[in-house]
Amino acid sequence: MEKFVIRGGNKLNGKINISGAKNAALAIIPAAIFAGEPCRIENVPDISDVKMISKILRHIGAEVTSPEDGVLVIDPTNVKSDITIRDDMTKKLRASYYLLGVLLGQYGSACVALPGGCYFGVRPIDQHIKAFEALGAKVNTDNAVVKVESEELYGSSIYLDVVSVGATINAMLAAVKAKGLTVIENAAREPHIVDLANFLNSMGADVRGAGTEVIKIRGVSQMHGCTYSIIPDQIEAGTYMVAAAAAGGDVVINNVIPKHLESITNKLEDCGITVIEGDESVRIISDGNHPKACRVKTSPHPGFPTDMQPQFATLLCIGNGTSTVVEDVWDNRFKYIDQLRRMGANIIVNGDTALITGVEKLHSAPVEADDLRAGAAMVIAGLIADGETTIENIRLIDRGYEKLIEKLTAVGADIARVHFDEE
């Protein structure tokens, strides 16, 4: 087993380079199946979720190789669509359900065990099913396996009742080769939706409007291979922005698209943190004292990202006054607060709202990662706590943060990955 050991109190100074976006890669890698021939994908983050989605693609017959760091070459020539993607794979990776959209769109059928992934409340897939049925597919969900099939898929109007990243992506994937025009309304607008659309169009698809709430897709009969580079990870960048703000110091975060970070930058400025935007960087200057209290409410892009909620709440634990954090995307994403309380945080949770009263300092404690972003929040808490904090369950952090130890130690953090015997 492994844990992180962090000695808090160091300021952070220097440069951090951001890797490719996890949530773009998890959609783009399966979408390469549409090419019918090899695709070269660059700026792929070296994280366990990418290893898992690659394993799933190999399981159905694709060849996935990595000729150099950060590059995947995917050859879908021998993919078989009649293989069930079992729950031992899907429970580890929620994004495995993108294979439903891809295999339905490319071969007319798919069979994927109901997905797993981070647990923060109910995670239904009713909107995915609504999209598949609108395109003419039959959907069966008996025995916790989702079976979708259709002789032919026809373009259709799909109104998503909920702004859903996953349902928007699955609708796009199922529609790219459907006959005629598909209009997805109330679509999610995240940067990774736009990145997927750009990738699909690089393979010859016709997807317009990604990044707005209306996406129009004209089905094509043939697609082809391409070389594509994945956008920088908005949430990885935001995590290091907040870490620098909390620990104090002067950190330049490179390889970012500042526009993707606007809501995070805006909130940090509300807290009195200096953020200087470059063309492809953001610089965080902070004295590490108590940030101003503020109000944060998560919402779909371009709002404040729910995947930044635990990290930002941790910063507010040492805020000057009382802050409120409203989680408006997921129905139960405050589980990590019990871990922060072990470190002396003063937080009251009432439904979708956390009331955070700033304390002088957090103190070190043995804590664990409840999920990927909660784990990132524990790292930030360890960086600012007195003494030595240990974090277990760090395989959940490894799902989405490439070279986290290297990136943080390079700017002065005292953090290490330590092996230990389970008993």
Residues with a catalytic annotation lie at: 118
Residue 45 contacts residue 284 (beta carbons within 8 Å):
no
Q: How far apart are CA 5 and CA 163, in angstroms?
A: 38
Reported as half-sphere exposure (CB side, CA atoms, 13 A), residue 51 has a value of 10
Q: What residues line the site for ligand EPZ (CB under 6 A)?
A: 22-23, 26, 94-95, 118, 122-128, 162, 164-167, 188, 306-307, 329-330, 372-373, 400
Q: How far apart are CA 308 and CA 249, in angstroms?
A: 20
The beta strands (E) that lie in 195-321 are given as 207-208, 214-218, 227-229, 249-254, 274-277, 281-286, 295-297
Q: Which residues pair with 40 in a beta bridge?
A: 73, 227
SS percent in the chain: helix, strand, coil, step 5 = 35, 25, 40
Q: Which is nearer to ligand EPZ, 20 or 344 (CB)?
A: 20
Q: Which residues pair with 368 in a beta bridge?
A: 392
Give the residue closest to ligand EPZ by C-beta: 166
Secondary structure of residue 321 in the 3-state scheme: coil
Secondary structure of residue 272 in the 3-state scheme: coil
